[in-house]
Amino acid sequence: MSDFSEKCRQYIEDTGTNIYQLSKISGLDRTSLQRMVTGKRLPGPEFISQFCLYLRINPQQRQELIELYELERIGKPAYYNRKYIQNILENLATPDFSALSYSPVISAKHQIQLSFAIEEKLQHFLEHSLLRSENAPVLLTNFPPDCISFFRIILHLSEKLGRKFDLKHLFCLCQNPEKSENVNSNLELLQCTLAFALTRYPYQPFFYYSKEAHIDTSALLYPYYLVTESSVLLLTADLKSSILLDKADVVKQYLREAEKQFQSAAPFLFMRREPEEILNFYGEITMAKQTSSRVLESQPCVFSMLYDPDVWASSPENTDFIDPKMLKDSFKNRFTAPYTFHNYFTLSGLERFCQTGRFAGPYACISVEFSPLVRQKMLEYFLETSLETGEYTMLKPSPLLTDRAYYEAFSDYSIFLCFLDSQNKFLGFYISESYIGQAFFDYFSSLENSSIAYSREETRQIIQKQIQILKEMQD
């Protein structure tokens, strides 16, 4: 008997009824109820909703039961991955791209704390290394990504001295998190590295695989290192003691061996900062080997609303961000992209586009304000040609997405993330790690039938209402 079926049985007993009586008053099939309570069959979501309605349980108990149901329906790994990805997206909803914005949310259980003495030694070592070098010195390290204090020291020195390292960071990912004690281990490392990368610090993370996300370092002497061209700082497994090495021949050997480790590792994040770089890189990804993708963005897919590619003729010859001709060519290429996609957009994003006539997310680089008539035609075209394909889902208001972000998970289990901050600075990331990519692909796919998704008919009615508002704006 599963936890879910046992909880169902308990709630039935607590309400003083039985399966026969519950079936009679609710209209639910008695055999289905019996099979559910004995763990022989898992019913559908509507059955569970009716079951909860007639049980006379409070909202907290209902939520607990639904969570147990989802755990059994999709399995523990998928359930906890979906919850954690939702947490990541909510934390990314207001990207600031500044050092002050670095604040990854990690459970206290998995967060590594440093003593004041070690923090002082780290700061002294790093500050000394920065001041000794004329240019941005290379810093090679395998410091745990979830040690937030270390990265805050790095950012503090950048603000204090106006100088930065060329930071290369090596860590391990779990080969199969589903068999580890922390199924979210790889996603936690993604959140840590992404939070730091969003500060725009010169950062290159690399990874290799291990059976566990955190290698057992208890029997190793000084397993953590920070290596620069002039010195080496070694730290014990518990991060409570350190040794400084500064003899030239010793440092040279450490530097050589550390570089070997990085050369044998795989890049974790590919980062692009300029709009044209991001557009080119995205084009290479989408035209290469994809068969399908799942997209989460603010407004409906731009391409699905372009009733005429020449609508861009109204755009200015120059923009602050990108060459208009390059942008138009990109849109034409996207029309013939050799893969299918499912687009998730938000009600707030749709309303924003209708009110302002401007695109959000990475498309905000297009300094075009479409007239109410053009907006109307775009939405009418979307209703006539795109919505009925079943490849578009509108999401209800939620903290999942900001108007300045774009996320896409591909069928080869890689992901592309793009952000635009309030100062109109871009950052694009491509992550090609199969477990993380598969988790994102699964999460996005699950949105279609989730509680935050509008039905196709509800979406149609909302868009028709927006079209009517746009018509009234033209009177």
Identify whether the C-beta of residue 11 lies closer than 8 Å to the C-beta of residue 55.
yes
Per-residue pLDDT, 277: 83
- Tell me what the mean pLDDT of segment 430-447 comes to: 95
3 state DSSP class of 438: helix
- Angle (CA) 160-125-157 rounded to 5° is 15
Which one-letter amino acid corresponds to residue 354? C
Identify whether the C-beta of residue 368 lies closer than 8 Å to the C-beta of residue 315.
yes
Which range (53-62, 100-109, 165-174, 425-434) has the least confidence? 100-109
- Tell me what the mean pLDDT of segment 350-379 comes to: 86
Write phi, then psi, for 140 (nearest 5 degrees).
-105, 130
Rg of the chain in Å (alpha carbons): 26
The string of DSSP codes covering 14-61 is HTT--HHHHHHHH---HHHHHHHHTTS----HHHHHHHHHHHT--HHH
Which range (91-100, 182-191, 205-214, 367-376) has the least confidence? 91-100
Provide the β-strand partners of residue 416: 408, 430
What whole-number distance in Å separates Cα of residue 299 and Cα of residue 380? 15
Which one-letter amino acid corresponds to residue 117? A
In this structure, what DSSP letter does residue 102 have?
-
Q: Show contacts of 377-380: CB within 8 Å, 24+ apart.
A: 377/307, 378/305, 378/306, 378/307, 378/311, 379/305, 379/354, 379/463, 379/466, 379/467, 379/470, 380/307, 380/467
Per-residue pLDDT, 174: 93
Q: β-pairing, 292-296 with 340-346?
A: parallel
3 state DSSP class of 229: coil
User: What are the tens digits of pLDDT across the range 235-288?
Assistant: 999 999 999 999 999 999 999 999 999 999 999 999 988 877 887 888 788 777
Q: Enter the tokens of residue 224.
A: 């953590």
- Measured between alpha carbons, how far is residue 258 from residues 72, 122, 128, 187 in Å? 45, 19, 20, 25
SS3 content of the chain, % helix, strand, coil (to 5): 50, 15, 35
Query: Regarding predicted confidence, which is higher, 403 or 5?
Result: 5
Nearest to 70 by CA among 78, 55, 453, 84: 78
Residue 124 CB partners (closer than 8 Å, separation 6+)? none
pTM score, two decimals?
Answer: 0.89
Residue 233 pLDDT > 90: yes
Identify whether the C-beta of residue 259 lies closer than 8 Å to the C-beta of residue 229.
no
Query: Regarding predicted confidence, which is higher, 308 or 72?
Result: 72
What whole-number distance in Å separates Cα of residue 238 and Cα of residue 168? 22
User: What are the tens digits of pLDDT across the range 26-84?
Assistant: 888 989 999 999 888 999 888 988 888 888 888 898 889 989 999 999 999 999 999 99
- Angle (CA) 291-294-299 rounded to 5° is 130
Residue 108 pLDDT > 50: no
